Structure formats: C-alpha cells, structure tokens
Amino acid sequence: MTTSETAGAVGLPMPYAVYAAISARADAETVPLVGALFRPSLALEPLALEPLVPDADASAAPSAGRLGGLPALPEGTAWPEFAGRPMQFLAQLDCAGLAEAFRTTGDGGDWPLPDEGLLLFFHDEWISDFSGRGCRVLHVPVGAPLRPAPETELSTPAVPAVPVGAQWRLSAPSYQDRELENLFPDDFMIALDLASDFRELLPGPDVRVLGWCDTDSGRPAGHRPLLQVENRALDVDWGECVNVSFWITHEDLAAGRFDEVRQGFEVA
C-alpha cells in the first residue's frame, strides 16, 4: 500500500486515498482523531487463491492454519456443546503464523493474541441463541491429534478444510461504531459518508482476524471482533445467516482470556 507521511502520523500505515477522503470531510482538528480510530487486522485467504494485496505473492503469506476440517483437541479436552449438541468446528488458527503476518509491517502495534499454540473456534450453527453464548474459543498447544465431533443424532458434517494464509490489513470503523459517530455530534452524515468512503477504499475480506466489524451485525457493548467469517468463504449452509463473528472484550483480549467470547451473526 502507498502511505503518506501525514497519514502515518496517526499511528498506522494508511493509503493516501484514505487520508485524502478523511481530510475532505473532516476539519483539521478532527482528521487525526478519525485516523487514530483505525485498527490493524489480518485478512485470511485460501492459500491457493490470488493474494488480497495487489502485487503480493500469495505463496509468501505465512500459513495461518485453516478454516474447517478437524480440530487438534488435546486429550481430556471435551468437544464444546451447546443445548445438548456438538458445536460446529469453524477454524483452527496458528498463533505463530498469525503473529508473523501481523508483524510484517513493523508498525502495526503490539500483537494482542498469543504467540504460540492454536486458537480453535466452535459455534452453534443453528444460530439459536440470541444472547451470543452459542460459541466457544479454545487456546490449546500445538501437537494434539485431530478429533472428529462426537457422533450423535444432532451432529452435522464437518466443514470442508480450507488452508489459509494471513496478510496484514488496515481496518476502518463504520457509521455503526460509536467511536466514529461521536466525532461528529453535529452532523451524523459525515460519519455515514466517511464509512462509505472506507468501504470503497478498504474493502473487507471474507475472513478477518481482529480489526473492526465489517457487517451489520449488532455490536455487543464493550466487545470487539476477534474473528469474522462470511459464509461464502466456506461450503456451508447457515440458512439466512450470511456471516458469523466472534467477539471479545478489550480486557479479555489484553489478558488472553477466551472463555467469555460471544457470537454475532448477520441475517440476509
């Protein structure tokens, strides 16, 4: 990405077009405040496809694990369940690969997730709990054998495995995020127009780790996205649900606690 020295002053590498869009809509005092809202994130893409960043080498993207397949569950760790049925296994992400990709820019901030081990993401594919409790994230050591889900009459087929690589991506807030809206208390339309600019200039990937929410999912108070997955990234049928997301509080993220992660989703 091409960055400007002025844009870089807000803390993260930013394409000049994004900085110009902010400058065109906000006053000089507010421009750096908008820029300071941007967050680093990782876009996950199938390793066999073209890279998300132009001129990048897809084969050079650090391996980040995979979507679907079977999880490497240590002995003694129970398969997560919800409402008496095994949860659907959605992703196994390699923390070391994610950390390597995150640090490739050198100025994207501190890596907030563990440096080692695997993050396993499970969710209730029935999307039956609107409180967000229908999910589980486990941080486990590398090296456990792969384990299929328990066989019950409520079990569903495993999600096909998709190996993924990770690439650093800038992530922008939307008009639904209060942090952006609050910067324009006298004219909400500025936040709305800026969010439209950001969507055009920084299109969201199908799978994102960290960053801001890319969808119209509800925003749980005090939480931020940990993982977002569009259904088109996988061969799955979630009915009218078009994406699922995992949300974590700022405090739990900083402490590496994943036991209270909440599920979000968007219905078409």
Predicted confidence (pLDDT) per residue in 91-137, tens digit: 999 999 999 999 886 566 789 999 999 999 999 988 777 788 899 99
b (16+ CB within 10 A) / e for 77-92 = eeebbbeebbbbbbbb
Whole-model pTM: value is 0.88
216 pLDDT band, cuts 50/70/90, is: confident
Q: Which amino acid is at 146?
A: L
Domain count, the chain: 1
Q: Domain with 232 in it: what CATH number?
A: 2.30.320.10
217 pLDDT band, cuts 50/70/90, is: confident
The answer for residues whose C-beta is within 8 angstroms of residue 240's C-beta and 6 or more apart is: 267, 268
Q: Which two tokens stand for residue 22?
A: 């902010």
Show the domain range for 30: 5-49+57-71+80-267
For β-strands 223-230 and 85-86, DSSP reports them as unpaired
Q: Which two tokens stand for residue 168?
A: 């650093």
b (16+ CB within 10 A) / e for 124-160 = bbbbeeeebebbbbbbbeeebeeeebeeeeeeeeebe
Kind and range of the H or E run holding 81: strand 81-82
Model pLDDT, residue 245:
94
DSSP 8-state symbol, 125:
T
Model pLDDT, residue 108:
61
